Structure 1
Amino acid sequence: MKAIQVGSKAPDFILQDGFGKEIRLSDYCGKQVLLSWHPLAWTSVCTDQMRALEVHFDAFAAKNTVAIGLSVDAAPSKKAWATVLSIEKTPLVSDFWPQGKVAQDYGVFMENHGFSGRANILIDGEGIVKWVKVYPLGELPDIHEILEAL
């Protein structure tokens, strides 16, 4: 897996969250966007990763940043998961079909597993990749490290 490089133009995408809302990267022009990739919903580390984004929603907003959680899980699964976790402000989007296409575009898709790796990719307000970190699958990203990168 070779993640997209800092300084690269971030590929635009349109994905849906579990509630049917379209999320388009280019709609956030002028804001920073954190793409927070998690391998699969309903697993403990992924749960903690997405909860951290929700808990720190206001801290991201104060830094003109939108955090988005992404995985290859189907939209109905993302909806159920968001509901169970009480995630209401942070979009959890589905990169289900074509399977992992956006993860592939960002270099974080793990072909041998059929899902993305765990990664955080920060995009600046002009659509340029500003910061990238790929984590071991079982490691919870440090939310404070991410906030410092903003």
Structure 2
Amino acid sequence: MKYKVGEKIPDFNLSDHTGETLSLEKFAGKNILLSFHPLAWTRVCRMQMESLEDNYQVFKENNTVPLGVSVDPVPAKKAWAEELGFENLKLLSDFWPHGTFASELGIFIEKKGISGRVNILVNDQGEILWSKVYDIHDLPDIDEVLKEVKANS
């Protein structure tokens, strides 16, 4: 990952699974958890996104909006969100140009065409409050993520 705590990430303009374009300015006054996962429709990625959806109220109570991000196209994200029954979590597409946002952050895995599994907690100005890079096969510990969310709320 290119950026460290205290540094600002580049702004983003990514479509979510409903087709809405989101950027930092849409979250004025809130923290954002950018939860990168390699690919929709895979077991660990499903569990990672379900943990965010299941704890959405805790995020909300701590002035934080969780966002799931991968290189999957919007239609795939939409179908996946529907299959999983998500009511709150927004799933963002970094599909085209393929993996541009992940590349800007230094977490795109060129050989595989996917992002790494990474959580990045930022404020509404894009300043990193906390981040962690995981092994591609490891499920992020939601308790650890929520601890950081609460500590930075």
Give the TM bin, normalised by the shorter chain.
over 0.9
> Is 2:110 the counterpart of 1:107?
no
Paired with 2:6 and 2:103, the residues of 1 have a C-alpha distance of 18
Alignment map for 1:18-97 (pairs within 5 Å) = 18-97=17-96
Paired residue secondary structure (1:77): helix
Paired with 2:77 and 2:126, the residues of 1 have a C-alpha distance of 26
Deviation at 1:121, TM superposition (A): 0.2
Paired with 2:85 and 2:137, the residues of 1 have a C-alpha distance of 23
Cα deviation digits, residues 95-132 of structure 1 (max 9, x gap)? 00000001111121111111100000000243211111
The amino acid across from 1:88 in the alignment is: E
Paired with 1:140 and 1:14, the residues of 2 have a C-alpha distance of 26
Task: Check the 8 A contact 2:71/2:95 in 1, yes or no.
Answer: yes
Deviation at 1:54, TM superposition (A): 0.3
Paired with 1:126 and 1:12, the residues of 2 have a C-alpha distance of 9
Paired with 1:111 and 1:127, the residues of 2 have a C-alpha distance of 24
RMSD: 1.0
Aligned length: 149
For structure 1, the residue ranges without an aligned partner over 5 or more in a row are none
Paired with 2:113 and 2:5, the residues of 1 have a C-alpha distance of 25
- The TM-score normalised by the length of structure 2 is 0.94
Deviation above 4 Å: which 4+ runs of structure 1?
Answer: none
| Percent identical | 48
The amino acid across from 2:7 in the alignment is: S
Task: Check the 8 A contact 1:70/1:92 in 2, yes or no.
Answer: yes
For structure 2, the residue ranges without an aligned partner over 5 or more in a row are none
Q: Evaluate the alpha carbon distance shift between residue 123 and residue 144 of structure 1 in structure 2; reply closer, same or farther with a 3 A threshold.
A: same
Task: Check the 8 A contact 1:57/1:89 in 2, yes or no.
Answer: yes
Deviation at 1:3, TM superposition (A): 4.1
